[in-house]
Amino acid sequence: MILDRCDIPIVGAPLAGGPSTPELAAAVCDAGGLGFLAAGYLSAPELERRRRRTEQITSRPFGVNLFCPGPAGDASRVREYAAVIEKDAHAAGAALGAPRHDDDDWDAKVEYLLAHPVPVVSFTFGIPGPEVIGDLRAAGCETWVTVTTLAEARRAAEAGADLLVAQGYEAGGHRGGVSDSAHDAVGLIALLQLITARLPTPVAACGGIATGAAIAAVLCLGARAAALGTAFLDCPEAGTAAVHRARLHAAPPEEAPPTRLTRAFSGRTARGIENGFLLAHSAGAPAAYPEVHHLTTPMRKAAREAGLADYVNLWAGQAYPLTGARPAGDVVRELWAQARAVLGQSSARHA
Amino acid sequence: MILDRCDIPIVGAPLAGGPSTPELAAAVCDAGGLGFLAAGYLSAPELERRRRRTEQITSRPFGVNLFCPGPAGDASRVREYAAVIEKDAHAAGAALGAPRHDDDDWDAKVEYLLAHPVPVVSFTFGIPGPEVIGDLRAAGCETWVTVTTLAEARRAAEAGADLLVAQGYEAGGHRGGVSDSAHDAVGLIALLQLITARLPTPVAACGGIATGAAIAAVLCLGARAAALGTAFLDCPEAGTAAVHRARLHAAPPEEAPPTRLTRAFSGRTARGIENGFLLAHSAGAPAAYPEVHHLTTPMRKAAREAGLADYVNLWAGQAYPLTGARPAGDVVRELWAQARAVLGQSSARHA
């Protein structure tokens, strides 16, 4: 497995929509972890460009993450939601986008990766069919599938996944499994116990991991690696918007606004820091991805540029107040040193 | 601290409403852990009776858990809800109860414990004032407070709590902190990182802990002990209803029905296995505790006796499919042996 070729069992989770960059992936890899390029929202040519750039700046293996296409949402509910949020788009200095359904250039990106394989391809928002997984493996790609429940984990294992990325309730950004129901979210500790008790497939753990102690914890729970996303959001190598970075550290942890699961920004459930748009529209937002994503794209872009935090999707996991603004390589090395120290101390005390 | 007098850092969490018994608390204590008597829903004389019984069957220290009183709910919303669920009560062979507000005999139970202290008094549903905590400590009781967010943890520490019971999103039964909003629930791994990073107060961890690996994990995260509730539900020493026990093991874990947070049964947010009543009424149930608890008491009692699982509050944490039906002492000893082995192996591999 690719993780056997990494010195440090820390994965830089893909952060689609801006934060993920070739520089961030390369920095995680060069420190001994496994970096990912997020190909969600990218065309196949843009994926190729970023992949080439990453290969120019690191000689280490890295992964590429794809969004699996899903069903269209209810068009009438999308129209109703558009009417509700139009004033918000205007307040941010933008119009609404066209709420189209699309497959995120899925076929072209899969074709590209089959022709030009990378060491790992991971999947979000669904479980690819056994033929896609089989073709990618035959081309030389290890396949990882994001799962949020034990039932999803079993389906992914049966489809041939080489590794399951177990995403806990705590995780920032989109829920990455098949289920889009917030009710189905399982806390990471419970999810890891359930999966490892029932399936032999290797697992990586993500969701709310911000410290070496949490890395030690998921290794104890049987994970082969800890996947961190929010912990890298404010790294200088990330492409995170300034207004997003500022909100990560706007208050001491006790007073930091909580995060919440919401469909308000994209039509698919994701965790972000509570702000005006999220609180106003979470209750009414339909399950319609990527229609709602496209609807709010101009609003979010304008708000990012204008520094209007209330209209930006401030994706973050529940441990976000503990993250900092350090180079990604330092994050990898320091957290791993902490994790090893915690394991040694806990073992010495109890085992 | 009382935990320093226990051989095994496993707490038997209080399970009010039936499962908690003197026999269960004593069995946890005698195995080397720390058992709790749940005094919620009990009168002060009944608490005294159970406490005396526990002292007759174990010489080890144990704790008593109290419910802190809270504000009354909106009476008109309770009336509306009663009209909606009346047919469910009838279907279970019962009438609705009277939806009164009460303080769970708080003053009398605190007075009793001040006059007849136990080694530990823990609190659920709120943070007692510094004077109650100070009086109990002066009487010789260690005070533990259940918290569900970092902000609650800081308030409890400032009120003088000796230990914080950090309850994660995964936990079965009622959310035990001040907040009754499901949106405020924090996954255990994130909650422990946040609290231990900011507060020096000792912490015990609860929520979704069903294996030795999870105990090892929370110890790595800085917890002084792991508190398990659901793991003891089907022990022979517990008073859990047969219909509740049966639903814990009705399907293999992949097919086991999920749990969900709901106010449907009690008017306060709690996690239970999805069943007919929960799915039908979670969306409409008001925040009104214990009014709704009293409203549904006859329905739940009749349904337990008739084996009608769809009308019973099937409290369970998210890892419930991994629990078994074994004597409580075996649970404590076996999980601790597993936890020690996991710590040793993880340390040997990585540290």
Rounded to the nearest 10 degrees, what angle do helices B44-57 and B22-30 cross at?
40
CB–CB of B183 and A341 under 8 A? no
pLDDT digits (tens, 9 = 90+) for A102-143: 999 999 999 999 999 999 999 999 999 999 999 999 999 999
Of A196, A318, A351, the CB nearest to B190: A318
Closest Cα partner for B317 from A193, A252, A132?
A193
* Chain-chain contact of B187 with A318 (C-beta, under 8 angstroms): yes
Contact B208 A220 (CB under 8 A): no
Judged by a CB distance cut-off of 8 A, whether residue B3 touches chain A is no
- pTM for this predicted structure: 0.98
Average pLDDT over residues B76-95: 98
Please report, for residues A127, A160, A189, A213, B201, the alpha-carbon distance to residue A144 in angstroms, rounded to integers and kept in the order given.
Answer: 10, 9, 20, 25, 40
What pLDDT, in 10s, does the model give residues B109-136? 999 999 999 999 999 999 999 999 999 9
Contacts of A184 in chain B (CB under 8 A): 258
Q: Are residues B268 and B188 in the same domain?
A: no
Cα dihedral A213, A218, A223, A228 sign: negative
- Distance separating alpha carbons of residues A2 and A22, to the nearest angstrom: 19
- Residue B133 and residue B23 in one domain: yes
Angle between helices B150-158 and B188-198 (to 10 degrees): 40
Which CATH number fits the domain that encloses residue B135?
A: 3.20.20.70
pLDDT of residue A351: 85
| Interface-testing mutation among A158, A220, A228, A274, with chain B (most B C-beta atoms within 10 A) | A220
- Average pLDDT of the residues of chain A: 97
Decide if A260 and B183 are in contact by the 8 Å CB cutoff: yes
Q: Which residues have a Cβ under 8 Å from the Cβ of A116 and sit 6 or more positions away?
A: A48, A51
Residues B126 and B111 placed together within one structural domain of the fold:
yes
If asked whether residues B85 and B112 sit together in one domain, one would say no
Using a CB-CB cut-off of 8 Å, the residues of chain A touching B318 are 186-187, 190-191, 194
Interface touch A193/B208, C-beta < 8 Å: yes
Same domain, B20 and B121: yes
Q: Which of B190, B220, B253 sits opposite A216 (nearest CB)?
A: B220
What are the structure tokens assigned to A77, written together?
Answer: 């509910």
Q: Is the pLDDT of residue A98 over 90?
A: yes
Mean pLDDT score, A266-294: 98
d(CA A343, CA B216): 10
Beta-bridge partners for B35? B12
List of chain B residues whose C-beta atoms are within 8 Å of the C-beta of residue A150: 253-254, 321
* Residue B56 within any structural domain of the chain: yes
The residues, ordered by sequence, that sit 6+ positions from B220 with a Cβ below 8 Å of its Cβ are A213, A216, A217, A220, A342, A343, A346, B343
Distance between CA atoms of A7 and B238, rounded to whole angstroms?
Answer: 47
The whole-angstrom distance between A186's CA and the closest CA on chain B is 7
Region for residue A111 given its phi and psi (left: phi exceeds 0; alpha: psi -120 to 50; beta: otherwise): alpha
Question: Across residues A6-22, what is the average pLDDT?
Answer: 98
Facing A346 at nearest CB: one of B151, B261, B343:
B343
SS3 A31: coil
Sort A341 into a burial class: Cβ within 10 Å, 0-12 / 13-18 / 19+.
Answer: middle
Nearest-by-Cβ selection for A214 from B189, B211, B349: B189
CA distance A93 to A299: 7
Provide the chain A residues 218-237 that lie in CB contact (below 8 A) with chain B.
218-222
Q: pLDDT band at residue A72, thresholds of 50, 70 and 90?
A: very high
- Mean per-residue pLDDT, A322-340: 98
**Nearest residue in chain A measured CA to CA from B282:** A183
Look at B188 and A189 and tell me if their CB atoms are within 8 Å.
Answer: yes
Query: What pLDDT sits at residue B351?
Result: 85
Tell me whether residues A190 and B342 touch, CB distance under 8 A.
Answer: no
Q: What count of CB pairs under 8 Å joins A to B?
A: 191
> Given an 8 Å threshold on Cβ–Cβ distance, is A343 in contact with B350?
yes
**Domain range spanning residue A337?**
2-69+104-241+320-350
pLDDT value of position B284: 95
B219 vs A191, A254, A346: nearest CB: A346
Percent of all residues in chain B with a pLDDT value above 90, rounded to a whole number: 100
Surface of A (154-213) touching B: CB under 8 A: 154, 168-170, 183-184, 186-194, 196-198, 207-211, 213
CA distance A300 to A292: 12
| pLDDT recorded at residue A207 | 98
Predicted complex ipTM:
0.98
Residue B300 placed within a domain: yes
In DSSP terms, B174 is beta-bridged to B270
Which value, to the nearest 10 degrees, does the dihedral of the CA atoms of residues A170, A171, A176, A179 take?
A: 20
Measure the CA–CA gap between A219 and A318, rounded to whole angstroms: 19
Same domain, A47 and A96: no
**B184 DSSP assignment:** G
Q: Do A217 and B218 touch (CB under 8 A)?
A: yes
Query: What is the CA angle B103-B262-A209, rounded to 5?
Result: 105
pLDDT tens profile B221-232:
999 999 999 999
> Mean pLDDT throughout A194-201?
98
Q: What is the mean pLDDT of residues B258-269?
A: 98
Q: What is the pLDDT of residue B219?
A: 98
CA distance B68 to B263: 18
3-state secondary structure of A144: strand
The pLDDT, as a whole number, for residue A336 is: 98
On whether both A338 and A255 belong to a single domain, the answer is no
Rg from Cα positions in chain A: 19
Average pLDDT estimate for A16-42: 98
Query: Do B9 and B156 share a domain, yes or no?
Result: yes
B223 in a domain, yes or no? yes
Residue B318 resides in a domain: no
Taking residues A164-189, report their average pLDDT.
97
Model confidence pLDDT, tens digit, residues B183-213: 999 999 999 999 999 999 999 999 999 999 9
**Quick one: CA dihedral B170, B173, B175, B177, positive or negative?**
negative
| CA-based nearest distance B24→chain A, Å | 24
Of B189, B255, B317, which has the smallest distance from its Cβ to A188's Cβ?
A: B189
Predicted confidence (pLDDT) per residue in A233-266, tens digit: 999 999 999 999 999 999 999 999 999 999 999 9
Are B251 and B145 members of one domain?
Answer: no
**pLDDT tens digits for B299-347?**
999 999 999 999 999 999 999 999 999 999 999 999 999 999 999 999 9
Asked whether the beta carbons of residue B183 and residue A151 sit closer than 8 angstroms, the reply is no
Q: Which residues in chain A (320-349) have CB-CB distances under 8 A to chain B?
A: 321-322, 339-344, 346-349
Indicate if A112 and A124 belong to the same structural domain. Answer: yes
A189, A339, A347 member nearest B209 (Cβ):
A189
Asked if the structure places residue B316 within a domain, the reply is no
- CB-based contact A351 B347, cutoff 8 Å: yes
pLDDT digits (tens, 9 = 90+) for B19-64: 999 999 999 999 999 999 999 999 999 999 999 999 999 999 999 9
A54 pLDDT tier (thresholds 50, 70, 90):
very high
At B183, the amino acid letter reads H
Instruction: Enumerate residues 6+ apart whose C-beta is below 8 A from A263.
Output: A180, A269, A270, A282, A285, A286, A287, A292
Domain count across chain B? 2
Question: What mean pLDDT value characterizes chain B?
Answer: 97
Q: Are residues B20 and B124 in the same domain?
A: yes
Q: Say whether both B122 and B91 belong to one domain.
A: no
**Residue B319's closest chain A neighbor by CA?**
A190
Sheet of B270-273: strand order equals B173-174, B270-273, B259-262
Cα dihedral A307→A313→A319→A320 (10° resolution): -20
How many Å lie between the alpha carbon of A310 and the closest alpha carbon of chain B? 19
